[in-house]
Structure 1
């Protein structure tokens, strides 16, 4: 983590000057030499930041209380800037040992480039510790984040990692504490697995043997005297049975835990369902709610007085709903059968009516054809009266005798009546179709 020196940015108001500063160069607000001096129309001079803060609270000059606004301020004359910048001041790091003295406007440059007592972050990014500039070189040489090399395996790492690396370095020479043989650390663990002087427990220690001794004495001395050696086959068989039983027990335990989790999930779902059904059908759960008011000290004399649980109520409601659904299904089937029979009967009746209407229409068509043919024969036929054989000579004879007008009107009326009846029948037939 990188850090910065808190004195990198100089506060010009808090500098220590070598001599007493002229009172004409002192700001009447902060009582320090001017910093970026600003002049008011009334002739007073203030630090720029000081007068800005003063005008935020009151729009008047802090000295003579005359009206003053930010737009009225102007930068002070150049000679004022030069006089306050040329004041001699000590380095802000004088308390750490820096004896530098210089003009005020050069102090910031001195801190950033020349001051040996400025705090700088360590050159190593992982460290970031603030160190005096004069001590930077010595710090880098001893910093715990510097790169170092193991003298045994020549591996490079940070200095703080090297301290722990010495205990695990595979190239370091390690002496066996049991047989005094030296090996590199990478081979030391292998040697401990073969060292004849390394103390080990008896191979039957899991069954109760408490002997611990040198590896070379296990086969030559102890196994001949071990009380468990004669029954080791039985002990191993017993251990296999125990392992099998433990495995079965663990399997049963996992199954039990799985069933418990499923049961908890089912209970949660049932509880939510009870709440939903209680809100939808409060009358069915009234007896269960009254169970809290039931007196447990009084004996139950009638089984009908025992309040039903929500599960029993739900089951009874399910049976009732199932019976209702079966009844409704049977009624619907019966109604559908009746509707089919009625539809078939009505269809047959309509077919008979349509047949009769077709026959009637055919009869009317034939009659209309007869009427039309008769009318055409009367209109276009030969004359009904001709000149007789005994007609008086010289008398005029008529070639087209006129027909009876009463018979023509009667035929026209009949024709109009039959046309009207035929039109009504056609309209009725279209409606039935």
Structure 2
């Protein structure tokens, strides 16, 4: 597959396929002079045809680049020889480079290299009855698709996988530490280098918080016993962890508060819409609607009786739709009040939580400051004692 090749030489931008953005493979030229990979162009035209069919429309295929209608989508124009030569002259690496092949050459020679010369190309095994494939360099050897025993862990593996097993997964395989040259099991080597090896160079435990000290493991351990930053590292780590937890909790509360605000806004919009509907039903006249807003019918029926105890006999009762809208308005008002109370309660709780956490952080910082002051006083005392001792030695 030419699309998976790794290119060494730089490629002219005009030689890239506009669809896959890779150097052209099997270039195809349309009547509008745009050039694509043959497979990319075919997939694009098929996808366009499927899209029009799903919309139950009949449309001509178009060029993926300029959208020019194509009278004959299958029609292809001749590719200029200069373009083909430029593509063939691109320098690439062998597709088997990850397995160890170091060959490089022109793109036009890749297939010939794989078919004839590459020692890592998979070919059919020559043993009669074996259907597996093997690298060309092992073609003349005995069949490698037989099980053999590992001479260290007694596990059974295919002969072709035995070397890889010994280098990686074998429990009894041994490796040498690159620092102290100690021989130990391969699986224990990473733990040895990270936590035990005395010749490994490691930073001070306070390195994440600003200490630049770097030395072999024994020197770093001795430094950590007197480094103020290393002594405070456990406290700083716990404080950083607590701060991350607080930030996560604050983010969750902020999200909940945003959701509540959105819900309240939706309720308000619905309430405004229903109010407009009520106004249009109760006060159909535009010129009198504003004057009647102040006399909107109260939601409490007792208030109606108190303001007008003897209603006229010829007054029309409130019809069914208006009564429904009034009840809906009252329900929305109650929901809005409840949501407002919930928002206020959540806001107060989140604010109190933030205040408590900030107070705790202040107390921790005060403890840290006190510890630093104590360490500073001890360092000054040690320095002064050493200075006095040196002076006394000088006078004598």
TM-score, reference length from structure 2: 0.32
Larger Cα-atom Rg: 1
TM-score, normalization: structure 1? 0.29
